[in-house]
C-alpha cells in the first residue's frame, strides 16, 4: 500500500493543475482524488517495497532449498540406480 502522505501529495498536485476558476473546489477535489486513488491502488493489490523485498528473500531461500533437495534426490537416485544395476547383472 502506498504511504498516505504520498497520496495526499499526488492529490494536491492534481488539484493544483485545475483551472483557476475551479480553485474554490480544490479541497473537495483533493479529497475526491485521494479517495479515488486509494480505491484504485487497493484494487491493484499493491505492496510496499519492504514487503516485496521480504518476499523476494523468502523466494530466494525457498529456491536454494529446492535446489539442495533436488541434488539430494539425484544423489539418492544415483545410489539406488547403481545398486539396481549391480543386482541385475
Say if residue 4 is in the same domain as residue 41: yes
Domain edge (last residue) among 11, 26, 46:
46
Say if residue 19 is in the same domain as residue 60: no
pLDDT in tens, 34-43: 888 888 888 8
Say if residue 32 is in the same domain as residue 61: no
Range of the domain at 6: 1-46
Say if residue 32 is in the same domain as residue 55: no
> Is the overall model pTM greater than 0.75, yes or no?
no
Say if residue 63 is in the same domain as residue 87: yes
Q: How far is CA 5 from the centre of its chain?
A: 20
C-alpha cell of residue 8: 495526499
pLDDT in tens, 5-55: 888 888 788 777 877 777 667 777 788 888 888 888 888 877 889 999 999
With a CB cutoff of 8 Å and minimum separation 6, the contacts of 12 are 30
Single out the residue of 28, 5, 30 nearest to residue 16, CA to CA. 30
| Total number of domains in the chain | 2
Say if residue 40 is in the same domain as residue 2: yes
Amino acid at each position: 500500500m502506498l504511504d498516505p502522505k504520498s497520496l495526499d501529495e499526488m492529490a494536491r498536485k492534481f488539484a493544483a493543475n485545475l483551472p483557476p476558476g475551479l480553485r474554490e473546489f480544490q479541497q473537495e477535489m483533493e479529497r475526491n482524488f485521494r479517495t479515488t486513488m486509494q480505491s484504485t491502488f487497493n484494487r491493484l493489490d499493491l505492496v510496499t517495497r519492504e514487503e516485496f523485498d521480504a518476499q523476494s528473500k523468502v523466494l530466494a531461500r525457498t529456491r536454494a532449498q529446492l535446489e539442495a533437495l533436488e541434488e539430494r534426490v539425484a544423489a539418492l537416485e544415483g545410489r539406488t540406480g547403481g545398486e539396481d544395476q549391480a543386482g541385475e547383472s
